[in-house]
Structure 1
Amino acid sequence: MTYTVEQALKWIMKSNEKIQNNKDYLSELDQAIGDGDHGINMARGFDEVVKKIDGNDYAQVSDVLKDVAMTLMSKVGGASGPLFGTAFLKMSMAVKGEEAVTYDTFVTALEDAVAGIKQRGKAEEGEKTMIDVWSPVAERMKDADDFAASVIRDNAKSSMEATKDIVATKGRAAYLKERSKGHLDPGSVSSYYIFEALAESLREEA
């Protein structure tokens, strides 16, 4: 199975729906351990993304992902814009030239996204950041042979839930030290919505 422009557009539209529907929840999570504006920022950014890509006639998946990246970088406030923007930009570069993206190329794109997030955020796994969802999903997909919606969704969900037990050592949450434990990482939760949306965009085509 390959990943198409149509699926990529569905992925982003569904990501936007989930983030809009949960923006207050995301900001509540962020109020506990961050600046409190993660939901508002992500919702604003994805709203702009949808305006940018809706109705456009894209030839390649990479063109969709590049527009997503550039819009997130310019429209999302705080650290989230550069980090999520970098993830989509790295993916767009990895799939460039492929009209329908093969599974192996898609996995490489995700691995490149993880590397980009790490470099941009100066963070690693286990520090209570969005990497704690992106990295395990990329690893799990590397072990599989083809797109499996349930594998992506379930892995993203369990990885997101696991951030509750991590003590933050990066970002604003790191100031709380031990008190950051017991709270979900907002960036990991919004990442979960993005991967849940990816799973749904795959399931519809299956």
Structure 2
Amino acid sequence: MNSSYIVKMLAEISTIMNENKDRLIELDSVVGDGDLGLTMTKGFAAASEFAAGSDETDAGKMLYGAGKAMSSAAPSTMGTLMSIGLMQGGKVLKGKTELSNEDIVEFLAAYENGIMTKGKAKLGEKTFLDGFDPGVQALKVAVEAGEDLAAATAKAAVAAEEGFNAATNMKAVHGKPAVKGDASIGMVDPGACVAMLIFKAIAKASV
């Protein structure tokens, strides 16, 4: 694999966000401002367009540039967090023109860590992380077991969906949903949905 995988991955994420724009708007309108679908569609489109138009062979630099493009296009809270994830992932892959399956795990772990640090959130607080972390952990286990990337990312996508579903039964700690207190339990978390969609897109890009 090389930087062309990054181009394909971001294209798939952009596509799936566009396909689920209305769904994300609907989910976010219940617990937030209702703009998540627009933000994710616009932000990941900018990241994808940057990567597709770049002749950069350094995968890390490409990801970092895609993150900056997303930050400019979608300067909302969630847009900023997703762009930071891309830039943090870019930092750990800087200097790499060939990518291993382990590099993809490292990229996604750094993506998660960047969001966790900037967002000051923890697992179990009904956020993006509760959908994303199960995907990262499942991917790591599968790659360490020697599975190819297609099989490993497929398992990660299933785990991310399970995490997304589990987040519904959590109590929100951050943002507008937290104001609802115990009433937030049972509400679908739009951030965890974004995480699930990202892993579905990564699985598709890895076939």
TM-score, reference length from structure 2 = 0.90
Q: How does 1:1-206 map to 2 (within 5 A)?
A: 3-144=1-142, 145=144, 146=147, 147=149, 148-203=152-207
Identity of aligned residues (%): 27
Post-superposition offset of 1:110: 2.0
CA distance in 2, matches of 1:120, 1:197: 24
Cα distance in structure 2, aligned partners of 1:51 and 1:142: 28
Question: TM-score, normalized by length of structure 1?
Answer: 0.91
- Please tell me the root mean square deviation across aligned C-alpha atoms, in Å: 1.5
Paired AA for residue 196 in structure 2 = Y
Deviation at 1:47, TM superposition (A): 2.5
Runs in 1 of length 4+ with deviation above 4 angstroms?
Answer: none
Whole-angstrom distance in 2 between the partners of 1:77 and 1:173: 20
Aligned partner of residue 206 in structure 2, secondary structure: helix
Structure 2: any 5+ residue segments left out of the alignment?
none
User: What are the superposed Cα offsets for residues 17-57 of structure 1, whole Å, 9 maximum, x if unpaired?
Assistant: 11111111101100111111111111121222233233322
Query: Could you tell me whether the CA contact under 8 Å between 1:74 and 1:81 is conserved in 2?
Result: no
Q: Distance in 2 between matches of 1:180 and 1:195?
A: 25
Of the two structures, which has the highest relative contact order with CA contacts closer than 8 Å and spacing of 6 or more? 1
Gaps of 5+ in 1: none
